Structure 1
C-alpha cells in the first residue's frame, strides 16, 4: 500500500500528505484499472483509468503531450518509450539525459501553474504534494490531471508503471518493464542466497555534522533487504537523525553514502574523529553510490538492488 510521503533525502524533500476522497463507484475498482473501453495506442476510443485518489480520469484519446511533476514519473514515461511527449518537467528531472532538456515548470514541490496552463498538455501527471490546492488549480483551469501517489515500496513502483502505461496506451510495454525489473532483482537474490551472515551496513544520506540515515519502513530498507544486507538502524523507522556515537557503537562493516554534493565524501567520512575504530574505516570499506538511482521509486530499482549487493558483496559478482 502506498503511503503519502515522498521519499528522498529529508534535507531536499517536502512531505507529501494529500488525502483525497473515493466515491462509491471508484472505491470498488482497483487503482490504475482501465474502467471502460480497453485502450490501446492505435485507438481513438475513450477510456478511463483510475488514479491514486480513486478518481476516474477519462481520456478521449491517448495523450500526445504530457507535463510530469515528479522525477520518478518522468523516468517511468521515458522507460515506456513516450518521453518525447513530455513538454514540462521539474528542476530535478535529470534522467535520462533527454529529460534535462525539457522545460522546467516545477521545483518538484511548487508548480508554475500559469506556465503549465499555457502549455495546455493533454495530461498532467501529478503526485501527492501535500497541497491539494495545486492540483485543484490545474483542474479548475480545465486541465486533465492524473495523480500518482509517491511510492514507498517496490510494489508501488510496479503499480505506477502499469498505471502510466495504461494512461499512455502502452500497457504491454509497462508489463514487460515490471517483469524485467523483477527478473533483475531475482538474479541478485539468487547470488546473495548463499550468504551465511549478512554484512552490517550504515547508509548515510546526509553528512556530518547533521547525520541522517534510513531506518525500517523506507524504500532504501527494501533495497537493502533485497540485496541481502543488514541495516544497522533497521530497529528504527523512517528517516532518522543519528549521533556519531550511535554509528560508532553499532560498528558497521560497510558504510555507503549518497552524499555527492560535498568534496571528497569518502575522505570526509574517513577523517572523522573517533570513527577510526569502526570496522568499515579500518578495512577501508566506505563507498559512494549514485543517490538518484538509490532514491527514486522508478524503473531503476532493480539497478539499485544490484548496486547495493555488488558494493557489499563484490566477490559474488566477479
Structure 2
C-alpha cells in the first residue's frame, strides 16, 4: 500500500509540475538556488524530509537521529515509523511550526506548485531547500552531494556516491547480450487510469541504460495511456511498479480485453518489481535497477 501511495505522490507532484523535464530556465534557477542554499554550511539538528528518497539519503549520511519528521509515505529505513509524519501534498503550517525544524528538504516541484506554506516558513527563518528531480544516475549522485554539502557531510556524501556508482555499474555490466532490444511497457498505475513513463523520466532512462526500449518513449514525461495504445505497441514485456505481486498483476492483465493476444501475455512475460527501490532516486537505486534488469531479461539469465 505504501508503494502505491508513493507512486501516486510522484505522479501527482510531477503532473502538477508539468509532467516533463525542466526547461533550461528552470534548470538554471534550480542550479542557482542550490548554489545559494549551500554556500554556507551549518549543522542542523531538527530536519524534516518531505520526500522518501531524501530521507534515505539523510540516513545514509549518518543523520538519522537529526531527522525529526518525514512524509506520510516514508517507510524506509524501518526506524522512520517512529518519526512524526507530514502530508507532503497538504502541508499544515501550524504542525510544521510546532515541530520546530531548522531544516526542511522539499521536492523542487513543491516550489513550482506555489506552496505558500513553505514560503511562509522561510520568512520565519526556517531553512527550506528544494531538491531537484533526478532524471539520471549523475543527477542522483549530484543530489547526494547537494544534501551532503547542506548538512556538512560532504565526505560521507562522496563515499555514498562512490559506493552507489560501483553497485550500479556492476548491475549494468551484467546485462545479457541480445541481438534486438526488448520492448518494455512500464505500468506505474493501473485502472481506472493507466499511467506509464515516457522520455525525460528516470524510468525511461533506466530502461535505455539496460539496453531495452520503452514502448512509449515517444511520449513526454508521465502520461495516461489507453489499453488500445498498449495493444498497438505489443511490447515484449509488461512490468508493473505498483508494489503488487506478479500473480496479482496477471489477474489485472487478464481482465483487459485484447491483451490475451499480446506477445508478452502469450509468452508469460508479465513482471512485477518493487515500487520503492525503482522509483526513489536514492541510495537503493541499484536494487531497483537490478530488479528491472532481471524482470526484462528473466528468460535470459
User: What TM-score do the two structures reach when normalised by structure 1?
Assistant: 0.80
**Which residue of structure 2 aligns with residue 13 of structure 1?**
12
Contact persistence 1:117–1:141 (CA under 8 A): no
Alignment root-mean-square deviation, CA: 2.9
How many angstroms apart in 2 are the aligned matches of 1:237 and 1:58? 37
**Which residue of structure 1 aligns with residue 179 of structure 2?**
196
Shift of 1:11: 8.2
Contact persistence 2:188–2:241 (CA under 8 A): yes
How many angstroms apart in 1 are the aligned matches of 2:220 and 2:128? 33
Deviation by residue 1:176-215 (Cα, 9 ceiling, x = unmatched): 2112222222222222263322111111112134221111
**2:160 matches 1:161:** no
**Which residue of structure 2 aligns with residue 184 of structure 1?**
167
Shift of 1:216: 1.0
* Alpha-carbon distance change, 305 to 11 in structure 1, aligned in 2, over 3 angstroms: closer
In structure 1, list runs of 5 or more residues that go unmatched: 1-6, 32-49
**Which residue of structure 2 aligns with residue 127 of structure 1?**
107
Deviation by residue 1:216-256 (Cα, 9 ceiling, x = unmatched): 11110011112222111112221122221221121111100
SS at match of 1:281: helix
Contact persistence 1:185–1:226 (CA under 8 A): no
More moved, 264-273 vs 92-101:
264-273
**Which residue of structure 2 aligns with residue 297 of structure 1?**
281
Shift of 1:315: 5.4
Contact persistence 1:229–1:309 (CA under 8 A): no
**Which residue of structure 1 aligns with residue 3 of structure 2?**
none
Deviation by residue 1:72-120 (Cα, 9 ceiling, x = unmatched): 1111111212112110111111111112221012x11222221222222
How many angstroms apart in 2 are the aligned matches of 1:127 and 1:109? 11
Name the one with the larger helix percent. Answer: 2
**2:72 matches 1:65:** no
SS at match of 1:198: coil
Contact persistence 2:135–2:205 (CA under 8 A): no
In structure 2, list runs of 5 or more residues that go unmatched: 1-5
* Alpha-carbon distance change, 156 to 9 in structure 1, aligned in 2, over 3 angstroms: farther
* Alpha-carbon distance change, 261 to 288 in structure 1, aligned in 2, over 3 angstroms: closer
Shift of 1:9: 4.3
Shift of 1:309: 0.6
**Which residue of structure 2 aligns with residue 52 of structure 1?**
34
**Number of positions where the alignment pairs a residue of Structure 1 with one of Structure 2:** 285
Deviation by residue 1:129-151 (Cα, 9 ceiling, x = unmatched): 02242222111222122222232
How many angstroms apart in 1 are the aligned matches of 2:48 and 2:272? 32
**Which residue of structure 2 aligns with residue 224 of structure 1?**
207
Contact persistence 2:50–2:71 (CA under 8 A): yes
Contact persistence 1:122–1:144 (CA under 8 A): yes
Contact persistence 2:238–2:270 (CA under 8 A): yes
**2:98 matches 1:118:** yes
Shift of 1:153: 2.8
User: What TM-score do the two structures reach when normalised by structure 2?
Assistant: 0.84
